[in-house]
Structure 1
Amino acid sequence: MAERYSSFEEGGTRWLWQRITAAFLVVVLAFHFFLLHFVNHAYEVSFMASSIRMDNLLYYSLMILFLVTATFHGVNGVFNALVNQGLTGRRKRAVKYVLVAASVLLIVQGVRTANAWAGISLF
Structure 2
Amino acid sequence: MAERYSSFQRGGRRWLWQRITAAFLVVVLAFHFFLLHFVHHADEVTFAMSQGRMQELTYFSLMILFLLTATFHGVNGVYNALVNQGISGTKKTAAKLVLGVASAVLIVQGVRTALAWAGGVPL
| Bin of the TM-score, shorter chain as denominator length | over 0.9
2:93 and 2:10 map into 1 onto residues whose CA distance is 19
1:91 aligned residue: 91
1:31 aligned residue: 31
Unaligned runs of 5+ in 2: none
2:115 and 2:46 map into 1 onto residues whose CA distance is 16
1:52 aligned residue: 52
Task: State the 4+ residue runs in structure 1 displaced beyond 2 angstroms.
Answer: 1-4
**Given residue 28 of structure 2, which amino acid in structure 1 is its aligned partner?**
V
CA deviation string 1:56-84 (max 9, x = no partner): 10000000000000010001001111111
CA deviation string 1:17-71 (max 9, x = no partner): 0000000000000000000111011111121111000011000000000000001
1:37 and 1:78 map into 2 onto residues whose CA distance is 30
Unaligned runs of 5+ in 1: none
User: Matched residue pairs, number?
Assistant: 121
2:114 and 2:44 map into 1 onto residues whose CA distance is 20
The answer to whether 1:10 aligns with 2:10 is yes
1:109 and 1:120 map into 2 onto residues whose CA distance is 14
- TM-score, normalised by the number of residues in structure 2: 0.94
1:56 and 1:68 map into 2 onto residues whose CA distance is 18
1:2 and 1:10 map into 2 onto residues whose CA distance is 19
- TM-score, normalised by the number of residues in structure 1: 0.94
> Identity of aligned pairs, percent?
75
Q: CA RMSD in A?
A: 1.0
The answer to whether 1:22 aligns with 2:26 is no
The answer to whether 1:71 aligns with 2:71 is yes
The answer to whether 1:62 aligns with 2:47 is no
